[in-house]
Structure 1
Amino acid sequence: MRLITDAVAADDRIRIRPWRSDEADVLFAILSRPEVTVWLGEQSRRPMASVAEAAARIDTWAGICAAAGPDGVWAIEEVATGRPVGTVLLMLVPEDTAGERELGWYLHPDAFGRGFATDAARLVTAHAAAAGIEEVWAQTHVDNVASGRVAARLGMTDLGVVDGLWREGPSRLYVVATR
């Protein structure tokens, strides 16, 4: 079941689609920035070191997007430019106990504050609902105020700070019903 192949936000500003192999330089431009990677999961916090590393990541994500099921890691493309400005994902959480799915997002700093993360997360939440997933979760670093605002705009319930739930250390946990 592949529900997202070329989803467009209601305001036509963004499109959600798989990352393409020829966009490794764009992904590198995003994930080589410490101001982006500081907020990512522990394994991804190190800024990317090369375009080759970005190409390998896109190859991994292509396999996830091509597999049957609702999970994926997609480019957030700004329709006006045709270029990705970030990433949105839906994945089983580490050590899930009941099929919990995590919704995640990050953007290039030039795209901060323009509503792209919220629009992309709404599309992926609708995708999750269409796949029969009843709720999605988000886990952010405690100090990541911007992602907290995105979660609030999505109508996610702030469950407070948890320690070591799916990642090492404290983080803030959110959940929203998709139906």
Structure 2
Amino acid sequence: MRPVTIIGPVITTARLRLRPWRPEDAADALEIYGSAEIARWLTPALERMEGLDQMRAVLSRWITDPPSLPGRPAGRWAIEEIETARLAGSGQILPLPPSGVDLELGYQLKPSMWGRGLATEAGHALAHHAFAHGEEEVFAVVRPHNSRGARAARRIGMEWVGETDKYYDLRLQVFRYRKADLDISALDPRPVER
């Protein structure tokens, strides 16, 4: 497992920096959220972005009105490769509907970044963040035919706990990661010099 460093809103691993979104990220974000291959797994939580203007508007909302759960680690991050400073994807810790009690760990990568273990690394980083901020468990919800999403959840170390229609009014596979299942000693509280 790679060490994770958390400094304010930035989460850093050996290869990735999860940082707040910026308005200039819109074109890269559109490569993720404008992709039919990705968006089909995200609806109804997020519809496919149809163009740069729509993506800019969504990013603006994410930046100016971040998810707020008092005392809980909800948020949205741009996932950036440290070596190249290229945007690789998006990560989230968000309350699951309808009650918002359960937290969903989510991540989407640009298709050009698939197959390099970045989703696993980002998922570990987000789990570390949640657990370092007092959460005892996080969930991933995956549509039954989304084999890529299910594999990524398992690679992170999440346990399949069954299917439900509790979230989003859809039949979904549920994966859970408990704090006790993660080697929290890999969390490095010291700043990373880059």
Same fold (TM over 0.5): yes
Superposition CA RMSD, Å: 2.0
Counterpart contact for 1:138–1:151, Cα < 8 Å: yes
2:67–2:94 contact (8 Å) kept in structure 1: no
Q: Which structure 2 residue ranges, 5 or more long, are not aligned? A: 1-5, 181-194
In structure 1, runs of 5+ residues without a counterpart are none
In the superposition, relative to structure 1, how do residues 110 and 90 fare at CA in structure 2: closer, same or farther (>3 Å)? same
Q: Give 1:64 shift.
A: 1.0
Q: Contact (CA 8 Å) 1:142, 1:172: kept in 2 or not?
A: yes
Corresponding residue of 1:7: 11
Aligned to 1:22: 24
Aligned to 2:155: 153
1:145-164 CA deviation, whole Å, 9 max, x = no partner? 111111112221101222x2
**Residues 1:13 and 1:122: Cα distance change in structure 2 (over 3 Å):** same
| 1:109 pairs with 2:119 | no
Distance 2:128 2:10 in 1: 13
CA distance in 2, matches of 1:74, 1:173: 22
Specify the alignment match of 1:137 in structure 2: 139
In the alignment, does 2:48 pair up with 1:47? yes
Determine which structure has greater relative contact order: mean sequence separation of CA pairs < 8 Å that are 6+ residues apart, divided by chain length: 2
Query: 3-state DSSP class of the match of 1:42?
Result: coil
Map of 1:48-63 to 2, 5 A cutoff? Answer: 48-62=49-63, 63=65
Runs of 4+ in structure 1 over 3 Å off: 65-69
The corresponding residue for 2:130 is 128
Compute the TM-score of the two structures, normalised by the length of structure 1: 0.88
Alpha-carbon distance in structure 1 between the residues aligned to 2:120 and 2:172: 20
1:22-48 deviations in Å (ceiling 9; x for gaps): 11111112211101111113242x421
Among candidates 61, 76, 81, match of residue 78 of structure 1 = 81
Cα distance per residue 1:93-133 (max 9 Å; x no partner): 11226x21110111110011111111111111111011101
Compared CA separation, residues 6 and 169, structure 1 to 2 (3 A):
closer
How far did residue 169 of structure 1 move? 2.5
- The amino acid of 2:170's aligned partner reads G
Using the size of structure 2 for normalisation, the TM-score is 0.82
- Measured after TM superposition, the shift of residue 50 of structure 1 is 1.5
Q: How many percent of aligned residue pairs carry the same amino acid?
A: 29
8 Å contact kept, 1:86–1:105: yes
